[in-house]
Amino acid sequence: MGCFSCFSSHGKAPKKRKNCRRKQSVSLHSGSLKPQQQHHYPAPPPSENPKGNQVQNEAEKENEIGGKNNIAAKTFTFRELATATKNFREECLIGEGGFGRVYKGKLDKISQVVAVKQLDRNGLQGNREFLVEVLMLSLLHHKNLVNLIGYCADGDQRLLVYEYMPLGSLEDHLLDLPADRKALDWATRMKVALGAAKGLEYLHDKANPPVIYRDLKASNILLDNDFNAKLSDFGLAKLGPVGDKSHVSSRVMGTYGYCAPEYQRTGQLTLKSDVYSFGVVLLELITGKRVIDDTRPANQQNLVTWACTIFKEPTKFMDLADPLLGRDFPVRSLNQAVAVAAMCLHEEAMVRPLISDVVTALSFLGAEATHSSSLSLSSIDDPSLIVSDQNLINQSKSNDEEIAEARQRAVAEAIEWGSSSKQNAAASRRGSCSSL
C-alpha cells in the first residue's frame, strides 16, 4: 500500500514488509464456520517481540497525531481479550480462516459484545496488513463500514476487536443454504446490495485520498439485525490514484472470481476494479449462486461467464433469478438489477459506471422492490420492462428531482475535491523538495 499517512498531515508511513499472498478471509460474525479445537494461549510479555512493539508504536503514534482525523481505536492488552473470550475457548469460536480465528467476547469495561479476530502468528496476514486495517478503520467512519473498536499488539500477538454483527455475513444467508434456512427475499437482497454500494461510495468519493477496497465478496459483507450491510476486512485496502494518475500498480491479490480482469492481467488497480467486484456480488444476490462452483454443469461453473451469455438476451433475464425466490419479485426490478450487474461486469473498466451511479440506480430499485407488487410472469415479454444499461441510469436519475439535485451537488464536490487534491499534492511535492 502507498503512504498511509496521507490521511494525516504529520503521519509517518509504515515501513514496507513482505507479505504472504492472501487466500481466505475471516468473517467477523457468528455461525459462519464450524468451530475447531480449543486453544489456550498464555499472555506474552509486552516487550518480547521488537517487531510487535514497532507495530504498536507506529499505530499509537497515529493515535497521538490523528486527533484531527477522529482516530478512536482503543488499545487492549492480550489479557483483557483473553478474559473477554473466556481464554479463547471453543464455545466462543465463531469463525476461522486463512488469517486466524474469530471469537465472540464481552468486554466488561465497556459493556459491549465484540468480535475478536486473533491473527495466526504463522498465518497469511502480516504486520503490514494488520497496521493497514487498524489505520484504515480508525480513520474511516461510515454506517456501512464495520466499526473497529480497538486492537492488541502485545509481543507477537495480533488481535483486532470489532463490533459484533449478529446476523453474520451475506454468504451465510445467500450461498449454499441449509434446508432449514429461509432464503432472503428480493427486497432484502436489494437492501444489502445498496448498503454495500454505499460503503464503496464512501471509500471512493468521500475518503481523501480515495480508497480501493480490493476484497469485496459475500463473506466480507456483514449484517446487523436489520440486514443493514457493512463492509469488513480491510487488510488488502489500498490508496487509490490521485491527481493525474489513472491507476495504482499492485501485486495481484484478492479472491479468485471477484477480481477485475484487467487487474488480474496487468496489476493495475483502479476504483473500477471495486465496481467489477460489486457486480459479482450483485450477480450472486440475483442468482443465489457462488461465483465459482465446480459442482455445477461445465458451462455454469463460472457464474460471470455464464451470465454474460444471458446479458445479451434480455428476454432470458428470468433465467438468472434464484429459484428460492419463488418468482416473488417485481420483474421490472429484476431486469434492471441484471442490467446494473451487466454494466459493472463490463470487460472494459472505463465503460463500467461510477459506484455513485450504481447507488443512484439501486436506490431506485430498492424503492420499487419495497413498494411495488410482483408483476405477472406473462409480462416478461413486454418490451417496456426491458431497459438498456444506460437507460437504467437515466431513468433512475430522472425519476426524482431530489436525486438529480444530489447528483449535481456530488459532481460539484468532486470538481472541488479534484482541485484541492492537486493543490495538496503540489504543496506536498514542494515541501519534500525544500526538505532535501
Residue-wise pLDDT tens digits, 391-412 = 555 554 444 455 455 545 544 4
Q: Are residues 154 and 175 in the same domain?
A: no
Distance in angstroms (rounded) separating the CA atoms of residues 35 and 327: 36
Instruction: Tell me, yes or no, if the pTM score tops 0.75.
Output: no
Tell me the CB-side half-sphere exposure of residue 429, using CA atoms within 13 A. Answer: 6
CB burial string 366-390: b at 16+ within 10 A, e below: bbbbeeeebbeeeebeeeebbbebe
CB atoms within 10 A of CB 119: 23
Q: How many domains does the chain have?
A: 2
CATH number at residue 13: 3.30.200.20
Alpha-carbon distance values, 257 to 74, 242, 385 (Å): 35, 27, 30
Cα(218)–Cα(278) distance, rounded to whole angstroms?
A: 10
d(CA 338, CA 344): 10
Average pLDDT, whole number, for the chain? 76
Residue 172, all three cell numbers: 451465510
Same domain, 188 and 331: yes
Lowest mean pLDDT among 95-104, 271-280, 321-330: 95-104
pLDDT at 178: 86
Q: What is the pLDDT of residues 139-188, one digit of tens each?
A: 889 999 999 999 998 888 899 999 999 998 999 999 988 888 899 999 99
Cell of 341: 450487474
The model's confidence at residue 243, banded by pLDDT at 50, 70 and 90, is confident
Bigger pLDDT: 100 vs 38? 100
In a domain, 374, yes or no: yes
> What pLDDT band is residue 33 in, cutting at 50, 70 and 90?
very low
Residue for grid cell 454495500:
196
Residue ranges of the annotated binding site are: 117
CA 68, CA 64: separation in Å to the nearest integer? 10
Is 85 a residue whose pLDDT tops 50? Answer: yes
In a domain, 60, yes or no: yes
User: Considering the domain boundaries, does residue 428 fall inside one?
Assistant: no
Residues making up the binding site for ATP: 117
d(CA 148, CA 394): 37
Is residue 353 located within the same domain as residue 204?
yes
The answer as to whether 408 is a domain residue is no
CA torsion sign for 47, 48, 54, 58 is negative
CA distance 19 to 251: 10
| 111 & 178 share domain | no
Phi first, then psi, for residue 151 (nearest 5°) are -155, 165
Domain with residue 263: its CATH number is 1.10.510.10
Q: What average pLDDT score do residues 191-208 get?
A: 95
Residue 375 lies in a domain: yes
In a domain, 420, yes or no: no
Domain residues for the domain of 69 are 4-163
Residues 180, 106, single domain; the answer is no
> One of 154, 172, 215, 322 is an active-site residue; which one?
215
Q: Is residue 416 part of a domain?
A: no
Bigger pLDDT: 121 or 105?
105
- Last-in-domain residue among 130, 148, 163: 163
**pLDDT tier for residue 37 given thresholds of 50, 70 and 90:** very low
One domain for residues 83 and 200: no
Q: Span 26-36, mean pLDDT?
A: 40
Query: Between residues 332 and 43, which one has the greater pLDDT?
Result: 332
226 given a catalytic annotation: no
Beta-bridged to residue 29, according to DSSP, are 165
3-state secondary structure the chain: CCCHHHHCCCCCCCCCCCCCCCCCCCCCECCCCCCCCCCCCCCCCCCCCHHHHHHHHHHHHHHHHCHHHCCCCEECCHHHHHHHCCCCCHHHEEEEECCEEEEEEEECCCCEEEEEEEECCCCCCCHHHHHHHHHHHHHCCCCCECCEEEEECCCCCCEEEEECECCCEHHHHHCCCCCCCCCCCHHHHHHHHHHHHHHHHHHHHHCCCCEECCCCCHHHEEECCCCCEEECCCCCCEECCCCCCCCEECCCCCCCCCCCHHHHHHCEECHHHHHHHHHHHHHHHHHCCCCECCCCCHHHCEHHHHHHHHHCCHHHHHHHCCHHHCCCCCHHHHHHHHHHHHHHCCCCHHHCCCHHHHHHHHHHHHHHHHHCCCCCHHHHHCHHHCCCHHHHHHHHHHCCHHHHHHHHHHHHHHHHHHHHHHHHHHHHHHHHHHHC
Confidence of residue 256 (pLDDT cuts 50, 70, 90): confident
Query: Rounded to 5 degrees, what are φ and ψ at 324?
Result: -70, -15
Beta 112-119 vs 268-269: how paired, if at all?
Answer: unpaired
In a domain, 419, yes or no: no
Residues 174, 113 share a domain: no
pLDDT for the residue numbered 386: 44
Q: What is the pLDDT of residue 240?
A: 82
Do 116 and 203 lie in one domain? The reply is no
Taking 60 as the threshold, does the pLDDT of residue 77 lie above it? yes
pLDDT in tens, 279-292: 999 999 999 999 99
Same domain, 150 and 193: no
Q: Does 202 lie in the same domain as 145?
A: no
Domain boundary residue among 145, 163, 181?
163
Do 236 and 130 share a structural domain?
Answer: no
State whether 326 and 354 are in the same domain: yes
